[in-house]
Structure 1
Amino acid sequence: MGEFKRILVTGGSGLVGKALQIVVQDEKRQDEDWIFVGSKDANLCDLDATRQLFDKHKPTHVIHLAAMVGGLFHNMSHNLDFLRSNLAMNSNVLQVSHEKGVKKVVSCLSTCIFPDKTTYPIDETMIHNGPPHPSNFGYSYAKRMIDVMNQAYHEQHGCLFTSVVPCNVFGPHDNYNLESSHVIPGLIRRLHDVMEAGGSTFTVLGTGKPLRQFIYSLDLARLFLWVLREYDEVAPIILSVDETAEVSIRQLTEELQKAFDFKGEIVFDTTKADGQYKKTASNAKLRKYLPDFKFTPFAVAVKESVDWYKTNSKTARN
């Protein structure tokens, strides 16, 4: 137990925010007071509204998860909107945190901010080495600027503002909207729909060969808490499973088949594009600090995620 912290979590109703709520409730610490807010509580693109939110809750620490997000095609057609909204949101949160004397801010970035043309594994030193993929350059540059602002606030005012870069996150309370969901919740939703309709064939787009690192949202929440309490660098840190935990989309689909106990056939539609073959991230910096951190086994995390969706499919974000 340390000094008393009053922690404001922006974007608190999303996948990572919900995971943080679960982990914090399990801990039952007496030296921390947590406030989770969502878009209904304040428009963070508005500076005055951001100030009012901070005046209401008076946080000593902030976990900044809020962002304008969307699927591939929404990004491609609205890069300016993603750039302007996220720049405004991030700038306001950091400015008001400085004005109100917040002791520490931890912001959430994304591996999509890394250069489109790069070598693997990617690490924290490579974020600004080249332009991001053109499909989502607005979102990516806005997220990159958090790292730039963190450094500037530290240099000019001594602020401890930092950021984390998770690999692909999944878990309970995910986004299952097929237009904007990521791969795991999208496949969970589609296989669930196939089984509900009594279907015997589950078609997966692409060859199933691409490789991805996936982190369970509850593991990410535990790592977020460590960053909040213990990590005192301004430089970002990648929060990812080990490189050896990388799995193919085919392996993922087979785990989902087991978790759902689906007895039908899985078909890969090889006429559809695979996308990027791999995005391997190094967690060497994290392992330097936490060499013994145990990630939830992938099969266990997938089963828990599937079971949660089966129970909550009517009220989940579909």
Structure 2
Amino acid sequence: MTKKDAAPDVADAALLGAAQVRELAERLDVRPTKQWGQNFVVDANTVRKIVRVAGVGPRDVVVEVGPGLGSLTLALLPVVKHVTAVEVDPRLAGALEETVRSLQPENVDKLRLVAADALTVTKLPGPDPTALVANLPYNISVPVVLSFLQHFPTLERVLVMVQLEVAERLAARPGSKIYGVPSLKAAWYADVELAGRVGRNVFWPAPNVDSGLVSFRRRKPPTTTATREEVFRCIDAAFLQRRKALRGALASWAGSADAAEQALVAAGVDPRTRGEQLDITTFARIAEARPSGAAEAKPRVRRRGHTS
């Protein structure tokens, strides 16, 4: 990286502290809600760390989901080319530009605001984003990351703060007890790593769980003739009853247990294997080997105990 490309130091930027966050929330009559999974970061060192670990710089167009009162936004703006902030809460969306104008007037032109539910966003104004950096609401963290990786192929990297358990599941490797659907679907798009842990006391209100930073570095998906949707359906079927061997777990997906065994053998997989033992490349081979014309049976709905 040349001196010209080096990111400005965020240490001297005007950021929000705990007292300012509470004062701003009171002025806006904002009370954090469980509905939108709101926990506001009140520690300036934490947002500095997020920006540093994200590795973003002057050439990056960053999309931030759930900027809230602006703690992370203010840490990003001095460092990157643009920030596109996606906020579902209308009061917070309306106040974000004013907060930036008050604390960092020199950077207000670098901010774009999108007042929308992140799960519905498939297009963004302005230049294509190169990075997603966010403190994500716990209740939508996985679908948001997967949706943005799907709809914005220009995203080269992602650094998000999520519930620690979710971060560990996303970064899990084959053979782990917590390896599953999120791990595999994330691996379709990127190399995923746990990038740090964050305590509860940096938030207001403090959540009941610790948080984790999880990093995604985009790479090409596995080489396969199967589509992403076909591979994902195979993954979903394999983990619907994760304790079953794949011959049984994939029976409804393939049309029958015999058809599932045929696909597994063609993909070079022992039919007695369980889904948690296989990586994304192997699932792509299985999806590719599904017998043509196989009628996928509708799986029984499990009322309890299944999470994706």
Q: Give the structure-2-normalised TM-score.
A: 0.26
Which has the higher Rg, Structure 1 or Structure 2?
A: 2
